[in-house]
Amino acid sequence: MRRYVDLCVFLTDIRNLDKILIMAKHLGYHTVSLTSTNNNIIDSKIINEIKKTAIRNNLNIVFRYEINTDNPKKLRETVRRIWRKYEIISAYCINKKIARIAGRDSRINILTFPLDTSVRDLFNDAQCSLMKAKSQYLEIRYVEIAKNTNLERRCTNLLRWIEIAYENKIPIIASSGADRPQNLRSPFEIASILTISGLDIKSARDSISTIPMKLIEQGILKTRGMLINKYVKVIRSPLCIG
């Protein structure tokens, strides 16, 4: 039985958390990754409240930090500061320089690129070569696909990036990218968008289940200070509920 994962739900307002988790459970998710960005670091008191909320809703949760900056120095400093505090680290690559630096850093698990970018070759074979060497993942977000602006450009980038990732054997993760309950989407709705974009049904479903779950298992080991490699089996995280 598949365990569906939404690997990017932004924790922008703690007051929405209960509604978000209730909706995620209703939509069929097993695990949700609560994502902080920039200087929005979750403190221990909030983590305890989140754990209680997750238990009430019978959901597993993990914590993710996304670095969103155009400053290479800030990118490096942030990775150093938060690496072992979160199961998952991602970078939102708004330009080539950030993408290339992030692609060389094995501490960064996921790279996300703005679908409406006009930057030529932001995600290409050269970028894939860096990511593959560091066992990184490409993330596609539903909210980026569903925007009302620059539709043609976003569709063109989506189709091309999925093809490039597939050809270079870069694992694809699909997520909602939601920051409120109404922006969440079911695993099947997200998978259907990817199949329309060129992925086969199995790969599309894997992108919201087995692939992100594998990354979570590795992240759990990291936060416990244990050596990670592709042969290590999953153990329970102190931050993981359920």
Q: Which pLDDT score, from 0 to 100, does residue 41 have?
A: 65
DSSP class of residue 232 equals P
Task: Establish if 242 belongs to a structural domain.
Answer: no
Task: Establish if 114 belongs to a structural domain.
Answer: yes
What's the token pair of residue 12?
């922008």
> Residues 176, 184: contact at Cβ < 8 Å?
yes
The CATH number covering residue 64 comes to 3.20.20.140
Q: Which pLDDT score, from 0 to 100, does residue 39 have?
A: 67
* Regions of the chain short of the pLDDT cut 50: 227-239, 241-242
CA atoms within 13 A of residue 19's CA, in its CB half-sphere: 12
Q: At residue 173, what are phi and psi to the nearest 5 degrees? A: -115, 135
Count of domains in the chain? Answer: 1
Enumerate residues 6+ apart whose C-beta is below 8 A from 236: 220
Q: Which pLDDT score, from 0 to 100, does residue 227 have?
A: 41
Task: Establish if 180 belongs to a structural domain.
Answer: yes
Task: Establish if 192 belongs to a structural domain.
Answer: yes
Q: Which pLDDT score, from 0 to 100, does residue 48 have?
A: 78
> Residues 119, 96: contact at Cβ < 8 Å?
yes
Task: Establish if 194 belongs to a structural domain.
Answer: yes
Q: Which domain holds residue 37?
A: 5-223
Question: pTM for this structure?
Answer: 0.89
Q: Beta partners for 137?
A: 110
Q: Which pLDDT score, from 0 to 100, does residue 163 have?
A: 96
Task: Establish if 232 belongs to a structural domain.
Answer: no
Q: Which pLDDT score, from 0 to 100, does residue 230 have?
A: 44
| 88-92/137-141 β-pairing | unpaired
